[in-house]
């Protein structure tokens, strides 16, 4: 943390790090709250479909109403950038013509909005960070290729599970460990859960569909796909193993079920809720080192557990802004297509049904190896919300491309086609 703070204090003497935030939901509002605690980080532009949410988020951190400018046009944006005021708009199209920004942070969870925002940012040579695993798992590989050609950063965010796990993995590798399993914890899983089922657990300010995607396992598969594509770790089986474990027996519980090393997976807690935890099982074989690790209470080896009870989402996200804007490095970015999330019916569905995507009422997602998803012509979950069924589908049946039509083209479909041709 000292490195981050020193870099920001040095930057503060020159100019602020101007950040455009897209999305004033739970994460976006929280990000503003955390950014203002860091030197030099300025949420200069806030884009939200609901103006009031963005304005209230700024006022909640002490910004006076008269210091916020509401805009609708590019001319108004340019004029506002010449002032010390914070800027709020509901016009996402203004993201096509940004001047004076160091980074765009996308926090909507909307795949199409995320893809467009990433493209517009990269085309203008602006660093881009997202917390949208849904978008990243679907078209992140091609977007990162675009970013590399423009010499800008494309990254998923610290604080969310993929970013936290990527740092844990990098640290373990640096210390000489080989990764066996990396993943996250869950306290509850129901593939067929829909937003109506979980509404009583949804806190104010949270999106029921988002919570539904946690409950039905789709979000977890998307997040671990992001991790897989960044690290080369793969799912061991479709949907992963998901053993029930305790922290004390986690290593032996996994070794009893996995068939190979180098995988992503999730664990279910038996006596506690592992819902915010992340873990890495790593291997290191060396007699003298094993003696030291046992002395340091890591166990007798050769398998060792790196375990973190939490990931702090928007509280840790500013580190990714600093990584990209000041150090020109990604917290986590795809290096290839190693995993994907296929679409599965939550219930019996009739021909003509419009699928409603991640966390909805019609489908859920299961992670599998990318080569399997491609070979079996399976529909990626991130494309499902744009699809209409050609024929009837039964509950828990995987949905293939030839079972659906896409009535309208869009940026996500175009990017995915280009990505699949790589």
**CA–CA dist 419, 337 (Å, integer):** 9
pLDDT at 274: 67
Of 128, 125, 150, the residue nearest 139 (C-alpha): 128
Q: Is 278 domain-assigned?
A: yes
Q: Is 379 domain-assigned?
A: yes
Residues 113 and 186 in one domain: no
What pTM was estimated for this model as a whole? 0.95
Residues 226 and 345 in one domain: yes
Residues 106 and 185 in one domain: no
Residues 177 and 277 in one domain: yes
Residues 153 and 214 in one domain: no
Angle at CA 57, nearest 5°, toward 73 and 94?
20
Q: Which of 304, 325, 346 is the last residue of a domain?
A: 325
* Domain at 117, CATH number: 3.40.50.720
**CA–CA dist 277, 245 (Å, integer):** 13
Q: Is 332 domain-assigned?
A: no
Q: Is 25 domain-assigned?
A: yes
Residues 133 and 277 in one domain: no
Residues 412 and 290 in one domain: yes
pLDDT tens track for 217-264: 999 999 999 999 999 999 999 999 999 998 889 999 999 999 999 999
Domain region containing 98: 2-159+315-325
> End-to-end CA distance of the chain, in Å?
38
Question: What is the chain's pLDDT, residue by residue, as a tens digit (422 residues)?
Answer: 788 889 999 999 999 999 999 999 999 999 999 999 999 999 999 999 999 999 999 999 999 999 999 999 999 999 999 999 999 999 999 999 999 999 999 999 999 999 999 999 999 999 999 999 999 999 999 999 999 999 999 999 998 999 999 999 999 999 999 999 999 998 889 999 998 888 777 777 778 787 888 899 999 999 999 999 999 999 999 999 999 998 889 999 999 999 999 999 999 876 556 668 999 999 998 778 888 888 888 988 899 999 998 888 889 999 999 999 999 999 999 999 999 999 999 999 999 999 999 999 999 999 999 999 999 999 999 999 999 999 999 999 999 999 999 999 999 999 999 999 98
Q: Is 218 domain-assigned?
A: yes
Q: Is 17 domain-assigned?
A: yes
pLDDT at 198: 80
pLDDT at 270: 60
Q: Which of 279, 297, 325 is the last residue of a domain?
A: 325
Residue 359, Ramachandran bin (φ over 0: left; ψ between -120 and 50: alpha; else beta): left
Q: 322 with 163: CB under 8 angstroms? A: no
Q: Which of 292, 325, 358 is the last residue of a domain?
A: 325
Residues 139 and 187 in one domain: no
Q: How many domains does the chain have?
A: 2
pLDDT at 310: 84
Residues 231 and 190 in one domain: yes
Of 35, 40, 28, the residue nearest 88 (C-alpha): 28
Q: Is 330 domain-assigned?
A: no
pLDDT at 363: 98
Residues 83 and 132 in one domain: yes
Residues 171 and 284 in one domain: yes
Residues 182 and 250 in one domain: yes
pLDDT at 272: 54
Q: Is 277 domain-assigned?
A: yes
Q: 46 with 131: CB under 8 angstroms? A: no
* Virtual torsion, Cα 285, 291, 293, 296, nearest 10 deg: 180
Contacts of 36 (CB under 8 A, 6+ apart): 43, 61, 62
């Amino acid at each position: 943390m000292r490195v981050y703070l020193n870099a920001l204090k040095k930057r503060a003497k020159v100019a602020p790090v101007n950040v455009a935030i897209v999305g004033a939901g739970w994460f976006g509002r929280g990000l503003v709250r955390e950014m203002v605690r860091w030197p030099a980080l300025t949420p200069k532009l806030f884009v939200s479909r609901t103006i009031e949410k963005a304005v209230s988020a700024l006022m909640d951190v002490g910004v006076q109403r008269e210091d916020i400018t509401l805009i609708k046009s590019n001319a108004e944006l340019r004029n506002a950038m010449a002032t010390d005021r914070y800027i709020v708009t509901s016009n996402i199209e203004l993201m096509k013509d940004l001047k004076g920004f160091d980074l765009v942070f996308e926090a909507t969870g909307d795949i199409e909005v995320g893809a467009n925002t990433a493209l517009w940012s990269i085309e203008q040579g602006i660093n881009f960070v997202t917390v949208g695993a849904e978008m990243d798992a679907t078209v992140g590989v091609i977007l990162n290729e675009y970013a590399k050609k423009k010499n800008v950063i494309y990254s998923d965010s610290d604080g969310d599970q993929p970013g936290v796990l990527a740092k844990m993995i990098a640290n373990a590798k640096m210390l000489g460990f080989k990764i066996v399993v990396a993943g996250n914890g869950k306290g509850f899983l129901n593939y067929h859960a829909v937003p109506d089922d979980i509404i009583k657990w949804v806190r104010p300010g949270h999106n029921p569909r988002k919570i539904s995607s946690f409950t039905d396992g789709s979000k977890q598969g998307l997040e671990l796909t992001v991790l897989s594509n960044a690290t080369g770790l793969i799912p061991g089986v479709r949907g992963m193993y998901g053993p029930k474990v305790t922290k004390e027996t986690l290593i032996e519980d996994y070794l009893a079920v996995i068939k190979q090393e180098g995988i992503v997976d999730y664990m279910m807690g038996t006596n506690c809720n592992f819902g915010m935890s992340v873990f890495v099982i790593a291997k290191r074989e060396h007699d003298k080192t094993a003696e030291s690790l046992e002395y340091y209470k890591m166990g007798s080896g050769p398998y060792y557990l790196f375990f973190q009870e939490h990931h702090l989402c928007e509280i840790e996200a500013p580190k990714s802004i600093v990584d990209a804007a000041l150090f020109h490095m990604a917290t986590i970015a795809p290096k290839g297509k190693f995993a994907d999330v296929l679409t599965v019916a939550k219930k019996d569905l009739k021909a003509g049904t419009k699928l409603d995507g991640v966390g909805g009422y019609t489908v859920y997602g299961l992670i599998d190896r990318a080569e399997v998803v491609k070979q079996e012509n399976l529909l990626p979950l991130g494309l499902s919300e744009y699809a209409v069924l050609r024929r009837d589908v039964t509950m828990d049946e995987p949905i293939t491309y030839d079972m659906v039509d896409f009535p309208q083209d869009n940026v996500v479909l175009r990017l995915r086609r280009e990505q699949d041709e790589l």
